[in-house]
Structure 1
Amino acid sequence: MQEERPRLLMGVVAPATNISVQPEMEALRPPGVINAHARIPNPDRAVTSDADTLAVRASMVEGLNAALDTLLPATPGHVVLGVMAENFVGGGAAGQRLVADCAARIGCRVTDYTSAILAALDVMFGRKIRLSLLTPFMPVGDAAARALFEDAGHEVVRLVSLKAPGPAAIARVPRERTMQAVRDLAGPEVEAIIQVGTNASFRALAREMEAELGTPVLAANPVLYWRALRREGITDPMPQHGRLFTL
């Protein structure tokens, strides 16, 4: 007996240094959706300055097409870009062009973090809000992340940067340090706490901190995956992944 075709073959692209996108997006998969993962060949180089951040971005952009090409034979129905800096550093129109180029190359729709998080905030709140940001970046990345939200009309009232010293180090920030950073971002004026940086294993911790603080805490990888599913008409309610997955 022939098996039923999958509802969706989801291409998922992440840097070679990223060890969080794959397990987190596998955990978010509804029945009938298959994730096909591809890796961007990027080195784990030290990041101690804005110049280092820009060099890491350049190496990842250069490897992005190669990663997409490994997905082409599988003909995915949608692709998630599990990367952040490409859309933040130099962001705006440059980020939009990058996403459009990716979609043209792979032949299907592509979801990036910028569009995903703005769509999530619109669905959850339906208005502009006051928010706090948790980032793993150096100042140039922090400024671009802040600009993403402020350019869309939201108010960034607090920002905490973990300043990870390299791409792979983002996944190794101690849990206790991350939890304290989230607590530092909370406050009566904060309507949502938003984590950026896809190499942070933050999916489960976001649910935990949301319960502790009573404030919505949005993790990068679930937001990306939610947006990709909804764009393809997959609306399964999955409350175990947070309120966003019921909308």
Structure 2
Amino acid sequence: MQEEQPRLLMGVVAPATNISVQPEMEALRPAGVINAHARIPNPDRSVTSDADTLAVRASMVNGLNAALDTLLPAAPGHVVLGVMVENFVGGGAAGQRLVADCAARMGCRVTDYTTAILAALDVLFGRKVRLSLLTPFMPVGDVAARALFEDAGHEVVRLTGLKAPSPAAIARIPRDRIVQAVRDLAGPEVEAIVQLGTNAAFRTLAREMEDELGMPVLASNPVLYWRALRKEGIVDAMPQHGRLFTL
């Protein structure tokens, strides 16, 4: 007997240095959805300055098309860009053009973090929000991240940049340091905490911190995957993944 066709083949693209996108998005799959993963061939170079950040971004953008081309034979129905830097450093119109180019190359819809997180905030609140941001970036990335939310009309009350010294090091930031940073970002004037950086394994911790702090704590990988599913009409309620997956 022939097996049923999958509901959706989800292409997932992440940098070669990223060890968090694949396991986190595998854990988020509803029944009948298959993830096909591709890697951007980026080096794990030292990041100690804004200039280093820009160089890392350039290497990832240059490798993005090669990663997408490895997915083309599988013909995914949707593609998730599990990478943050080029969406913030040189984002805005440049980021939108990059996403549009990816969609044209793949012949399907593409989800990026910028549109995903703004959609999540709209669904959760239905209005502009006072936010705290947690990033792994150097200052140039933090400035661009702040601009993303402020240009959309949200208020960034607090921001903590953890200044990971390389792309791979984002995944090795100690858990206790991240937990303390999230606690420091909370406060009576803050309505939600947003984590940026797809190489941080933040999915489970975000749910724990939501329970502790009593406010939405949004992790980048679940937000990306939720948005992609909803854009394809997959609306399974999965409360084990947080409030967003019930909406």
TM over 0.5: yes
- In structure 2, what is the equivalent of residue 38 of structure 1? 38
1:5 is displaced (CA, Å) by 0.2
- In structure 2, what is the equivalent of residue 12 of structure 1? 12
Give 1:65's aligned amino acid: N
- In structure 2, what is the equivalent of residue 50 of structure 1? 50
Distance across 1 between alignment mates of 2:216 and 2:123:
13
- In structure 1, what is the equivalent of residue 136 of structure 2? 136
1:1-247 matches, within 5 Å, as: 1-247=1-247
1:139 is displaced (CA, Å) by 0.3
Distance across 2 between alignment mates of 1:161 and 1:178:
11
Could you give the per-residue CA deviations for residues 101-129 of structure 1, whole angstroms, max 9, x where no partner exists? 00000110000000000000000000001
1:215 is displaced (CA, Å) by 1.2
1:145 is displaced (CA, Å) by 0.3
Distance across 1 between alignment mates of 2:84 and 2:94:
13
Give 2:31's aligned amino acid: P
Give 1:207's aligned amino acid: R
Q: Which runs of 5+ in 1 are unaligned?
A: none
Distance across 1 between alignment mates of 2:15 and 2:111:
16
Distance across 2 between alignment mates of 1:26 and 1:121:
23
Scaled by the length of structure 1, what TM-score is found? 1.00
1:212 is displaced (CA, Å) by 0.7
Distance across 1 between alignment mates of 2:104 and 2:137:
29
Give 1:81's aligned amino acid: L
Identity between Structure 1 and Structure 2 (%): 89
Distance across 2 between alignment mates of 1:5 and 1:129:
41
Give 1:110's aligned amino acid: V
Scaled by the length of structure 2, what TM-score is found? 1.00
Give 2:82's aligned amino acid: G
Runs of 4+ with deviation above 4 angstroms: none
Distance across 2 between alignment mates of 1:164 and 1:86:
16
RMSD: 0.3
Distance across 2 between alignment mates of 1:201 and 1:175:
9
Give 1:39's aligned amino acid: R
Distance across 2 between alignment mates of 1:174 and 1:101:
36
1:176 is displaced (CA, Å) by 0.1
Q: Which runs of 5+ in 2 are unaligned?
A: none
Distance across 2 between alignment mates of 1:47 and 1:235:
39
Distance across 1 between alignment mates of 2:210 and 2:237:
19
Distance across 1 between alignment mates of 2:119 and 2:7:
23
**Greater mean deviation of Cα atoms: 207-216 or 36-45:** 207-216
1:153 is displaced (CA, Å) by 0.1
Distance across 2 between alignment mates of 1:161 and 1:53:
13
Q: Secondary structure of 1:156's match? A: strand
